[in-house]
Structure 1
Amino acid sequence: MVPDKDGMIDYYFAEHKLRADINSLFEEGQVGFSNSRFMDEENILVFSRDIDGVITVMTYRK
């Protein structure tokens, strides 16, 4: 996914639609996995950003 002009991304986690500011997920210029992760009893959500700024949201389930 590509952030909107305000740097926001929309994603789903555990059937909830969420919105996040990429500046809160990544340091300026950071690529690779974010240090921000979200977890519940059955899911882990992680973010990754490539060198072109494209963000991948990955959910791992039990």
Structure 2
Amino acid sequence: MKKLTWILFFIIALMQISCQGQMKQMKNFLFFSKTVEFRHDSIEPAIAAITGLGGGNNFKVFHTEDA
């Protein structure tokens, strides 16, 4: 019984360590919105919405219009 308890303890400890390593790695998202003549009104709200989603879901949003 003691052996089973120690095995379960180590499995849980390893799972926590592996999950913490994944959470610290932040992903990057590029939002590219270059326009020439017509600029749609929903571009600015879309940038704000995706940036807000990134803050809560562990990814950083970069916005550019430079090609």
Q: Same fold (TM over 0.5)?
A: no
**Which has the greater radius of gyration?**
2
Task: Tell me the TM-score range normalised by the shorter chain.
Answer: under 0.3
Q: Give 1 or 2: higher strand fraction.
A: 1
Provide the TM-score with structure 2 as the length reference.
0.20
Report which structure shows greater RCO (CA 8 Å, sep ≥6).
Answer: 2
Q: Give 1 or 2: higher helix fraction.
A: 2
